[in-house]
Structure 1
């Protein structure tokens, strides 16, 4: 993978020149297929239910494009991103990828955010024989569709995100281990995958699930769910969440003075705005993550430095997974020596099936269904900062238990 070698100012100029942000389903998504550029088609939820993480993925893609172009592009050609807003709607995402591939003849495609958008989008890519590397479709169902061209650009799938935490809890002495668990999850395959992977491992070990609620993605009022959790007095709460839903649920629980021994929420705690959104009462809250800006992988050190110069804050997990998507595709393109539609796409797929790629989230390799063969870390808010606490070999701070002080 090319290395960063320009100042933040130069990268910002490269960024603005190489990203086309277009309106979903506008009928004129942009001109792909130029001999002077490598055109990459992307549909993202920049508005709607998944807009918060969708914008993070956009920033990650933009940072990757700026880095590549600052170093001469791919195969000596400038990378140009054609980004459409699917408005968090699966039908629009399908239309976007149809237009980008068939009408605009982009050379490559990158995946969207959310399992709900990844599965139908991957189906389109598969139909056209396109390599489909995606940053945020981790639910088990993504890898049960029989896709032959799909790769997930992160360390582990959703069901396995909490494995380190489950192992740690089950290794606790009996008098310290939580006995009752309350679960609330968005009706979303990724959110449920993360929550239920942990729930089921704890339940199988004898912990009692006293609340198990599912809510629609557009839910904003969590008073009734919070009341059930509070009434249960569960020792531990698990949230299968994205971002705003976690914030709203936690605020409701705070107002009820519910205080669990352990609290774990997927995705939301890794967002830079999370602490302020819940009133900076974060102590002890846990979350799985496939990424930390502190990791000393060579490309990550440079990524963090230059991303921070571009966007005035360090990257979070969504941004890193998007950047990783670019790294994975770029590695295949440079190795195979092509990046166009047609036979080249199968050559890219075949290369990734047989090789490991160094990325900002560490080395990645995949099984035949596109599942990465690694593991997520567990982060926790410790004295106001989110730190890696599991596995112990990678820990930046000691695991806090009990009583997250939110």
Structure 2
């Protein structure tokens, strides 16, 4: 089916021209065989597949979590199709590789919407990629639900179509840990803190959300280092942290950078009382990369396979059977993105690029709560979820929820054993 060139729905000009797309040469990953493209507007045939366009960092700096999001999206689509599809239509995913590049991700969504004529879109991974992608979606009037753009800058752009499919924004990820520390007697609280963060809005947002809370309690910041995303040598930063002998070390990290930093700190025999890192400790490869010294390491998470939310057990069983391992947070947030969009689609009974349909989807989500595998979600006017992250910790070699108390699977380890 041929697709007409679309004019951006927004009165604002697009930030990136369509010419950038023409020579992109982007390969597509499809879920259910060869794609013929989505249906356009009111001429949709109920027998046509419902095509969802996605751009993900399958190569480059964010490829590891990007592939996790891909697995989550594909598992969700497979599950939907086994249960009758959406509005009786089979779901197909058209996934492009943005190579962890902000310009490329914008070009990808221009192509998916304007050339491929997809019916719906899902968001990419990483705040760095979510912002330019969301701008394209806004320009064309598309609903934009995203699984991994939690930094505050995502929600201060004026987007009216964006929803984050997770329990909390980056600055709030450590709220339960901060509350726990604040409740301690003053002589049991850490007195000094060292921060090392990737130069990334999400990573810095998580670390600095905790930094703000600790400084309000009087915890002195003795190290505050920011490093480029491609950093592999952490010896200099580790030396500064070890020399300062901070009571707590806070890493605003993704995955490999956290592993490299911990290895560098261990080599210097720096032994903090508390150590917490975003993202990395919840990755299933983390214990193998770190070895036996994971005990006591903390991390915020928006998801656990053991959560008792209504649809979570079914998700875990289905995903594990499909992939051989239980899902982690990236896969869960991707599945949640699908749940959120599907709830709106089924409620308003439309799924097409038609501007009226897209606006109905957006309006419905503004006014409703959606039950998901990460819990019930609602959003403020800027798309921020109105919840909080759990705090996990390695206890007896396994990562367990330790905060808040009402959801704890194990007791909080107040003093981290040597690593």
- TM interval, short-chain normalised: over 0.9
CA distance in 2, matches of 1:303, 1:280: 30
TM-score (norm 1): 0.93
Contact 2:49–2:92, Cα closer than 8 Å, also in 1 = yes
CA distance in 1, matches of 2:242, 2:321: 43
Map residues 328-367 of structure 1 onto 2, 5 A cutoff: 328-342=340-354, 343-367=356-380
SS in 1 for 2:138: helix
Contact 1:285–1:404, Cα closer than 8 Å, also in 2 = no
1:31 maps to which of 13, 29, 36: 36
Aligned to 1:305: 317
CA distance in 2, matches of 1:25, 1:124: 16
Give the CA RMSD over aligned residues. Answer: 1.1
CA distance in 1, matches of 2:292, 2:108: 39
SS in 2 for 1:175: helix
SS in 2 for 1:82: strand
Q: Deviations over 1:229-288 (max 9, x none)?
A: 111100000000000000100011111111100001000001000011112310011000
1:254 maps to which of 266, 278, 289: 266
How much does 1:28 deviate? 6.9
Q: Deviations over 1:114-149 (max 9, x none)?
A: 000000000000000000000000000100000000
CA distance in 2, matches of 1:281, 1:85: 35
Map residues 174-323 of structure 1 onto 2, 5 A cutoff: 174-323=186-335
CA distance in 1, matches of 2:183, 2:275: 17
1:98 maps to which of 93, 110, 115: 110
Aligned to 1:142: 154
1:55 aligns with 2:67: yes
CA distance in 2, matches of 1:280, 1:315: 23
SS in 2 for 1:363: strand
CA distance in 1, matches of 2:57, 2:156: 23
How much does 1:405 deviate? 3.1
List gaps (5 residues or longer) in structure 1: 1-23
Map residues 102-181 of structure 1 onto 2, 5 A cutoff: 102-181=114-193
CA distance in 1, matches of 2:406, 2:231: 38
Count residues with an aligned counterpart.
383
CA distance in 2, matches of 1:279, 1:217: 24
Map residues 63-78 of structure 1 onto 2, 5 A cutoff: 63-78=75-90
Q: Deviations over 1:127-181 (max 9, x none)?
A: 0000000000000010000000000000000000000000101111222211000
